[in-house]
């Protein structure tokens, strides 16, 4: 299935942007609402439950296989420096032979930066788009994993420190004890 062209008026009404290069279209939707999932339902044969999952705040990571496309849900950690809290951010993706559609909150900087880079730089479009939608998705996930590794390592260090304190019989902060 070829991805339909996204009209300029549609872009202004919805929170979606698209890039097409060499027959492959990447549609990026930040902060999706029912309007964006309705647009997808009208232009693609996506399962209604998968479209609902794109709006769900807590959907389990998964891969659903359909004739002609896959639906994937990923979770990546995001660290809020001000609140000093790590939360999970969901990325939903529909991938077919000629398209990749990503839906997310917009808080994963590498994903936002990669989309902007591909909008601006033809060399980047050629590199990321020339080997197909699977390669593009792989590169997105690779960037997100690289971004998340320091966060995951820090969480691991905190867990190890807490374990060491527990087994050494040291008193823990009350929040941890509860």
pLDDT in tens, 124-162: 999 999 999 999 999 999 999 998 876 667 777 777 777
Please write the tens of the pLDDT for every residue from 36-50. Answer: 999 999 999 999 999
pLDDT at 167: 76
Q: Rounded CA gap, 44 and 31, in Å?
A: 19
Mean pLDDT (whole number) for 10-20? 82
Q: Which fold has domain 8-177?
A: Beta Polymerase; domain 2 (3.30.460)
pLDDT of residue 174 exceeding 60: no
pTM of the model: 0.82
CB 75 within 8 A of CB 89: yes
């Amino acid at each position: 299935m070829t991805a339909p062209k996204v009209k300029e008026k549609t872009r202004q009404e919805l929170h979606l942007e698209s890039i097409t290069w060499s027959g492959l279209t990447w549609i990026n939707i930040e902060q999706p609402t029912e309007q964006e999932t309705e647009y997808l339902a009208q232009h693609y044969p996506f399962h209604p439950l998968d479209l609902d999952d794109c709006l769900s705040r807590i959907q389990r990571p998964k891969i659903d296989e359909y004739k002609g496309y896959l639906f994937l849900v990923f979770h990546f950690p995001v660290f809020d420096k001000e609140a000093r809290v790590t939360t999970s951010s969901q990325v939903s993706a529909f991938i077919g032979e000629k398209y990749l559609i990503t839906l997310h909150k917009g808080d994963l900087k590498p994903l936002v930066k990669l989309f902007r880079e591909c909008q601006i730089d033809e060399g980047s479009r050629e590199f990321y788009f020339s080997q197909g939608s699977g390669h593009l998705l792989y590169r997105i996930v690779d960037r997100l994993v690289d971004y998340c590794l320091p966060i995951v390592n820090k969480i691991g260090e905190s867990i190890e420190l807490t374990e060491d304190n527990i087994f050494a019989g040291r008193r823990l902060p009350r929040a941890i004890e509860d």
